[in-house]
Amino acid sequence: MKSRKLLATLTAISLFTAAAMFAVDDKKEAPVSKQAGCCAKAEKAGKVCDHECCVEAAKAGNNCEKCKGSGKIEKKAEKAK
């Protein structure tokens, strides 16, 4: 009986580990930083997108999800140096 319990525990642990590994994979893919098209266009023109939704999102450091952006805005300060 003891070994059966141990086996169940090991199975539970391996399932948990697999789930944890999937969770890590999700985390790696989740924060994809994608700039909204309108914002990218504005930036190329040397401007800042003036959509209200984009301005609000930018204040929070995010790309505008309403305009199909996602994730955090990538900081480009290092490139400028």
**Binding-site ranges for Zn ion (CB under 5 A):** 36, 38-39, 49, 51, 53-54, 64, 66-67
> What does the alpha-carbon distance between residue 39 and residue 71 come to, in Å, rounded to a whole number?
14
Residue 70 beta carbon to Zn ion: minimum distance, rounded to whole angstroms: 12
Residue 65 beta carbon to Zn ion: minimum distance, rounded to whole angstroms: 8
Residue 51 beta carbon to Zn ion: minimum distance, rounded to whole angstroms: 4
Neighbouring CB atoms inside 10 A of 18's CB total 10
Query: Angle 37-44/52-59 helices, nearest 10 degrees?
Result: 90
Nearer to Zn ion, 19 or 66 (CB): 66
